[in-house]
Structure 1
Amino acid sequence: MDWTNQIVIVTGGGGGMGQAAARRFAAAGARTFVFGRTVASLQETAAASPLITPVACDVADPAS
């Protein structure tokens, strides 16, 4: 499936299934934003593709 010119948001993108999903979407051409609490793991995910943008935050905390 071609995801070119689509935007994808992945929570928990720093590891496990979230990381795998982010990498797959980016490989399919999607501009992918990964959200999570740990900057280092988000940067590791983002290193897989220039289409992945890491965003460090806690989605359960409105102040984050």
Structure 2
Amino acid sequence: MAAKFELYLDADDSFRFRLVALDGTVMLTSEAFPHEDVAIAGIWTVREAAAAGRIVDLTGSDTSV
């Protein structure tokens, strides 16, 4: 089973999503979106960007890949 995206309504009735790891750790939480379809589009954007994303180490060590 892979990590999952959870779509939910926050306390202000805005749509948000979070990425949850297999062990239940919340890896990221989105900004608030006014509409469900926009939040779902945000999930797709994160999925696509993460698949091709580079790791850039800003700590000063030379480990960027």
**TM-score normalised to structure 1 length:** 0.25
The answer to which structure has the higher helix fraction is: 1
Q: Between the two structures, name the one with larger relative contact order (CA 8 Å, sep ≥ 6).
A: 1
Greater Rg by CA:
2
